[in-house]
Structure 1
Amino acid sequence: MLSGRQFGLCPTTVRPVPRGHPGVRVWRRWELYLSPELPGWTTFCGCPGLGPVVDCGCDRDVQVSLPGGVQQVLEVRVDGQTLPASAYRVDNRRWLVRTDGGRWPTRQELTAGDDQPGAFAVTYERGVPVPAAGRWAGGHLACEIAKAAVGDTKCRLPRRVSAIVRQGVHTEFVDPTKLARDGMTGIPEVDGWLAAVNPYGLPRDSVVWSADLPSPRRRTS
């Protein structure tokens, strides 16, 4: 949470469903292509082309968009059969591209199981792996939590004490509630890494969302 929920891999299975009406291969966005040499041309899938003649490789039968980021594809099933890993690749940690000359299904039988005919299911690891420095910092934090659990006096986690006066010596401690508000733990090794990967204390990565695009279907139970 303190790192902004940037890291960690989660296995997930999705059932891609083509968007649009039958017979419409892609979602199209038409804009003037600003070029004096090519007056009147338009963009089709972000590429210059003369009307619908050029599809710029945006054919949805060849590539499908997966909720990112895709770290590793574990399994692809079409009609209950598992495809070999050589039959596809991943571009830009998002696009699952068919490379064996075949095409992805244009219809999806959502009432069928992942291993049944009519189903198209993709299982993959989604997210960003925890970097080595993050694992190192997490190990330090885990050790200090374990010390606190067994009452080890060498535990470095901050206590809910602001100051102690003993034999004329005045000692002040950092308020743990303030550390939590600032996104810190009180352990220098951990806090240094958190400050490096999440300097502004964001709760999660920023995202761009458009109300003009339909929301994808996700299985929740």
Structure 2
Amino acid sequence: MYLPGPVYDVVSVDIGGQVLAPEQYRVDAAGRLVRVGGGCWPDCQDMAAASGEPDTFTVVYRVGLPVDQAAVAAVSELTCHLLKGCGGSGSCGCKANRNIVRYSRQGVDLEMPDPQIIYSQGRTGLSLVDLWLMTVNPHRLDSPSRVYSPDFRYPRVQQWP
């Protein structure tokens, strides 16, 4: 059975009101839900019946990809930056005048990078976000590279559990 989207994990599999144990199924790559132990999935079901009633088949799963702590930190920094900029106070500099490149006052000199150059390089100007982006995509590719061959047979890859 195919589950659309990247499957993070399966919460439950219910066949006619009987919830299967997680050991009775697995998720292979490409979102394929496979029954383990020789059982088969139902061929048809009563689509008008509520979940858990006889002749029903329900799969509850979460869509997404697992992320590491560096990704969580980068998303947290970006979220904080956006919330500060949208709060009206503009304390993070989101609403600052972007025409200023160099600023001198009372003996303090500040030189700010041109945001157009930063954005054209695929960066955000936030250190954790830029570091994470350079780690996961060092060559700034728009999409992952792919190679197709009609002779290559893809091996089965178990994705969950």
Aligned pairs (5 A) from 1:7-156: 64-92=1-29, 94-148=31-85, 149=87, 151=89, 155=92
Q: Tell me, in whole angstroms, the C-alpha distance in 1 between the residues paired with 2:67 and 2:128.
A: 16
8 Å Cα contact 1:71/1:93 also seen in 2: no
CA distance 1:68–1:139, change in 2 (3 Å): closer
Task: Give the gaps of 5 or more residues in structure 1.
Answer: 1-63, 208-221
- Structure 1 residues 107 and 141, CA gap change in structure 2 (3 angstroms): same
CA deviation map 1:21-72 (0-9, x unaligned): xxxxxxxxxxxxxxxxxxxxxxxxxxxxxxxxxxxxxxxxxxx232243221
| Counterpart for residue 123 of structure 2 | 184
- Partner amino acid, structure 2, of 1:192: L
Change (3 A) 1:99 1:206: same
Aligned pairs, number: 143
Structure (1/2) with the larger helix percentage: 2
Deviations 1:95-125 (A, max 9, x none): 2222243211111333333333322221112
Counterpart CA distance in 2 for 1:94 and 1:80 is 23
Taking a change above 3 Å as real, the CA distance of residues 158 and 133 of structure 1, as seen in their structure-2 partners, is farther
Q: SS of the counterpart of 2:98?
A: coil
2: distance between equivalents of 1:177 and 1:69?
A: 34
Runs of 5+ in structure 2 lacking a partner?
147-161
Over 3 Å counting, the alpha-carbon distance change for 1:110 and 1:178 in structure 2 is farther
Identity of aligned residues (%): 36
Take 1:84 and 1:159, find their aligned partners in 2: how far apart are those partners?
56
Shift of 1:180: 4.3
SS in structure 2 of the partner of residue 140 of structure 1:
helix
Question: Aligned residue for 1:24?
Answer: none
Post-superposition offset of 1:80: 3.3
Q: Distance in 1 between matches of 2:97 and 2:132?
A: 24
Query: Displacement of 1:141 after TM fit?
Result: 2.7
RMSD between aligned alpha carbons? 3.5
Matched, 1:173 2:112: yes
Q: Which amino acid aligns with 2:124?
A: T
Task: Provide TM-score, normalisation by structure 2.
Answer: 0.65
